[in-house]
Amino acid sequence: MGLVQLLKSQFLSQLIICYVFLVSGLIVNLLQLCTLPLWLVSKQLARRINIRLGYCISSQMVAALEWWSGTECTLYTDPKSYPLYGNENAIVVLNHSFEIDFLCGWTFCERFGVLGSSKVLAKKELSYVPVIGWMWYFLEIVFCKRKWEEDRRTVAQSLQNLRDYPENYWFLLYCEGTRLTPKKHQISMQVAESKGLPKLKYHLLPRTKGFWVTVQNLRGAAAAVYDSTLNFRNNEMPTLLGILNGKKYHADLYVRRIPLELIPEDEAECAAWLHKLYQEKDSFQEHYTQTGRFPGPIVSPPRRPWALINWLFWCCLLLYLLGLLLTQLISSGSMLTILASLAFCSTVSLGVRWMIGQTEIDRGSSYGNKEESVNI
């Protein structure tokens, strides 16, 4: 193990990264709160400011993936579609199989300049996660309870609000609705069987209602669906803790651009279209397993320096302030202050560990896990 790798694997290095993320994140959340009065005066200006503030948070995680862990992200796509990426609104359909799939998604957003404005249909529980969840309120992320009776109206309304969004965005949909586990897969395939649908080997059966409502409400605002299939080399199952440890992974993403006009308007036809899409995605994963690559040419966008620059800025600022604080603390010699500081460090460490837990499949929800949810 080299010296740099040893440094990356140290608890102290990781504690510093977490401290910078948490404190800068809370500062940004506070600044976002301050933009509230601006929404009444100029909604579009408030949105543009929040896009940049949001970038300060999400790009730190991207920088950790790209620059700290050195993870490589390869894009397989049609070179004719490539110039459109980042220059139009799009609905992204991505497989939900990995703990850091969202982070790889963010990395591609960063490389095409839409990280600050990127959107997702997220479970409501994530809105309570400090920093990320709070940031999402101001970025008009669409939350759902994964209960269609309650979601159909709120999700449609939130999507309508995005129609006049001032900057290009990608709207991410994990149509499976939850991360893949063997048990969820087994139950999901029972549902597929009961519906007379072919079984999927690598995906859960997609939930079609969210996709249909998204396509219908963003028709005319989004130009295309980006069908995206992600996998990692060497059968790796990457984790956020691995990234913080400086472990390098290699992500491969296969993207097909499908113009929105090609997607049926009728709900049942749209559902059938999505099921067919997932059967195709399954065949791409099979191809990847057999050959170690996706079909088509590689057109990879390079890393940009902005995420790293933002991260270095926050590190310098917050480590300087921490240094000042520690100097005062040591010179004061007060046992109480020293104990209070140790308590602060433990809180930061436990707080971020809890947030990382949100990304862990083993601690995932029971959604899609219960036999009673199968309508056979």
Ligand X SMILES: CC/C=C\C/C=C\C/C=C\C/C=C\C/C=C\C/C=C\CCC(=O)SCCNC(=O)CCNC(=O)[C@H](O)C(C)(C)COP(=O)(O)OP(=O)(O)OC[C@H]1O[C@@H](n2cnc3c(N)ncnc32)[C@H](O)[C@@H]1OP(=O)(O)O
Residue numbers at the binding site for ligand X (CB under 6 A): 85, 92, 94, 102, 105-106, 108-109, 118, 120-123, 126, 144, 146-148, 151, 170, 172-175, 177, 187-188, 191, 204-205, 207-211, 226, 228, 255, 368, 373-375
Q: Select 88 or 236, whichever has its Cβ closest to ligand X.
A: 88
Residues 18-47, interacting with ligand NKO (CB under 6 A)? 18, 21
For 307, left (φ over 0), alpha (ψ -120 to 50), or beta? alpha
Rounded to whole angstroms, the Cα distance separating 96 from 203 reads 8
Whichever of 83 and 333 has its CB closer to ligand X, that residue is 83
Tokens encoding 349: 């460490």
Q: Within 107-166, which residues bind ligand NKO (CB under 6 A)?
A: 123, 126, 129, 132
Q: Evaluate whether 140 touches 39 at the Cβ level (below 8 Å).
A: no
Q: What are the residues whose beta carbons fall under 8 Å from the beta carbon of 277, sequence distance 6 or more? A: 93, 206, 227
Which residues are CB-neighbours of 130 under 8 A, at least 6 positions away? Answer: 22, 25, 26, 29, 351, 355
Please state whether beta strands 250-259 and 224-232 pair in parallel, antiparallel, or not at all (unpaired): antiparallel
| Shortest Cβ 33–ligand X spacing (Å) | 21
The site partner of 60 among ligand NKO, ligand X, none (C-beta below 5 to 8 Å per kind) is ligand NKO
Amino acid at the residue 118: S
Helices marked H in the chain: 3-8, 11-34, 36-41, 43-63, 101-111, 132-138, 148-161, 182-194, 209-218, 240-244, 267-291, 306-332, 335-357
50 contact, one of ligand X, ligand NKO, none, CB 5-8 Å limit per kind = none
Under rule CB under 6 A, residue 352 binds ligand NKO = yes
Binding flag, residue 312, ligand NKO (CB under 6 A): no
Binding partner of residue 375 among ligand NKO, ligand X, none, CB cut-off 5 to 8 Å per kind: ligand X
Range 145-151, long-range pairs (CB < 8 A, 24+ positions):
146/177, 146/367, 148/209, 151/209, 151/210
Nearer to ligand X, 19 or 102 (CB): 102
Tell me which residue has its CB nearest to ligand X: 210
Task: Identify which of residues 162 and 204 has a Cβ nearer to ligand NKO in the complex.
Answer: 204
- Restricted to residues 50-79, the positions that interact with ligand NKO (CB under 6 A) are 60-61, 64
End-to-end CA distance of the chain: 54
Cα separation of 183 and 366, whole Å? 10
Cβ atoms of residues 30 and 135 within 8 Å: no
Minimum distance from CB of 96 to ligand NKO (Å)?
Answer: 6
Cβ atoms of residues 150 and 89 within 8 Å: no
Q: Which is nearer to ligand X, 8 or 185 (CB)?
A: 185
Decide which of ligand NKO, ligand X, none touches 187; Cβ closer than 5 to 8 Å per partner kind: ligand X
Q: Which is nearer to ligand X, 32 or 188 (CB)?
A: 188
* Distance between CA atoms of residues 239 and 103, nearest Å: 10
188 binds, among ligand X, ligand NKO, none (CB under 5 to 8 A by kind): ligand X
**Residue from 19, 102, 170, 254 in contact with ligand NKO (CB under 6 A):** 102
Interface stretch with ligand NKO, choices 27-35, 69-77, 164-172, 362-370 (CB under 6 A): 362-370
Q: How far is the CB of 355 from ligand NKO (least distance, A)?
A: 4
171: three-class secondary structure by DSSP: strand
* Pick from 374, 370, 365: nearest CA to 145: 365
Q: For ligand NKO, which residue of 77, 217, 229, 359 counts as binding (CB under 6 A)?
A: 359
The one-letter amino acid code at 367 reads Y
Window 164-183: residues binding ligand NKO (CB under 6 A): 174, 178-179
Choose between 8 and 226: whose C-beta lies nearer to ligand X: 226
Beta carbon nearer to ligand X, 318 or 359: 359
Residues near ligand NKO (CB under 6 A) are 17-18, 21, 60-61, 64, 102, 123, 126, 129, 132, 174, 178-179, 352, 355-356, 358-359, 364-365, 367
